[in-house]
A and B are shown apart, each in its own frame.
Chain A
Amino acid sequence: AQSVTQLGSHVSVSEGALVLLRCNYSSSVPPYLFWYVQYPNQGLQLLLKYTTGATLVKGINGFEAEFKKSETSFHLTKPSAHMSDAAEYFCAVSDQRARGGGNKLTFGTGTQLKVEL
């Protein structure tokens, strides 16, 4: 079974500061990894994903994440926070098998990012 742990349900940063949201996963097979963002009263929107290949993945709005197999981590970073980044962020894992398991995603419990002036 797969699982995702997001350390810190709430993270607060100053505008212009580094954003670091942590995600660790467990999976018995090579994973696909995702970060989604949810703005208030909206659905989830894909920020970025790792499938295969380059382990540093760049996404929308200046976010990036690095897949580290040895650490089973997929932390999300952004060099300089903006007020508009305030939202809830979800890490998710899926296995790479094309069949079976329903191609399901397992989500972490989310991290609420607050950006302060």
Chain B
Amino acid sequence: DAGITQSPRHKVTETGTPVTLRCHQTENHRYMYWYRQDPGHGLRLIHYSYGVKDTDKGEVSDGYSVSRSKTEDFLLTLESATSSQTSVYFCAIRIQDNEQFFGPGTRLTVL
């Protein structure tokens, strides 16, 4: 079975500080995704990756950057966190037929 871990699971930070969230998969799935979940908006795609060092923007990418130096790790960085980035962040991997398997999420609060 596919496995995804996200770290940290909870984080409280202050406006203007940099934050990096990590997603780690235990298999070699090519596609990885970062979403944010907010009430009334469902899940919105931030960035995705289709291979090592291959990434592209999603619909809400402003203020976020990503990196993928290894197949198993996909990092999401908030260069300078803002209160509007308070959210729950989910990582996902593409399994088959575009089905995605989701991690447990990271709850980020920006004060």
Number of A residues near B (Cβ < 8 Å) is: 23
Assess whether A102 is in contact with B56, with CB atoms less than 8 Å apart: yes
Q: Which residues of A contact B41 (CB under 8 A)?
A: 109
Instruction: Find residues 87-110 in chain B having any chain A CB closer than 8 Å to their own CB.
Output: 90, 92, 94, 97-105
Per the bound structure, the CA–CA distance linking A44 and B103 in Å amounts to: 8
Is A103 in the interface zone, CB < 8 Å from B?
Answer: yes
Answer whether residue A13 sits at the interface, using C-beta atoms and an 8 A cutoff. no
Whether the Cβ atoms of B104 and A44 lie closer than 8 Å is: no
Most central of B44, B50, B97, B102 by chain A CB within 10 Å:
B97
| Contact assessment for A42 and B40 in the assembled complex, using a CB-CB cutoff below 8 Å | no
Contact of A32 with B98 in the complex, beta carbons under 8 Å: yes
**Chain A, 29-82, CB within 8 A of any chain B CB:** 32, 34, 36, 42-46, 49, 51
Interface residue B48 (Cβ < 8 Å from any Cβ of A): yes
Given contacts A102-B56, A104-B58, contact A43 B42 (CB under 8 A): no
Q: Is B40 a contact partner of A9 (Cβ separation < 8 A)?
A: yes
CB of A13, distance to nearest CB on chain B (Å): 21
A residues at B contact (CB < 8 Å)? 9, 32, 34, 36, 42-46, 49, 51, 90, 94-96, 102-105, 107-110
For the complex of A and B, the 8 pairs showing the least CB-CB separation, nearest first, are: A94-B98, A43-B102, A109-B42, A107-B42, A44-B102, A107-B43, A51-B97, A103-B98
Beyond A44-B43, A107-B44, A108-B42, 20 extra complex contacts between A and B, CB < 8 Å = A9-B40, A32-B98, A34-B99, A42-B105, A43-B90, A43-B102, A44-B90, A45-B102, A90-B43, A94-B98, A96-B98, A102-B48, A102-B50, A102-B56, A104-B48, A105-B98, A107-B42, A107-B43, A109-B40, A109-B42
